Amino acid sequence: MKTAIKSALTAVKRAAAWYHMRSLETNLAGMIDTLPLVRDEDTRSAMRLSIAITCKELCRARANYNALLPPGQRRTWTLA
């Protein structure tokens, strides 16, 4: 019974980590798509900083998701 609860809790954590990761990917894609449309340099520099922070947060989210996978499994992504 204890292992069933533990595996269910791990599955919930993995689903939450996956959702967080996918949300950051969507947000980052929107930021990158919007950047060329902005003409003000101050706003562009603030957006570049926000994109860099989001990239780091996405790396953390992917590492968290990988940590929750069963041993021997590892996902790889093309963009970080």
* Alpha-carbon radius of gyration of the chain: 17
- As a whole number of angstroms, the distance between CA 29 and CA 48 comes to 13
Quote the CA–CA distance of 26 and 8 in Å, as a whole number. Answer: 27
Instruction: Kindly indicate the confidence band of residue 58, based on its pLDDT and cuts at 50, 70 and 90.
Output: very high
List the one residue out of 36, 38, 78 whose CA is nearest residue 58. Answer: 78
Tell me what pLDDT residue 49 has. Answer: 97
Answer whether residue 26 shows pLDDT above 60.
yes
Q: Residue range 39-58: average pLDDT?
A: 96
User: Quick check: 54 pLDDT over 90?
Assistant: yes
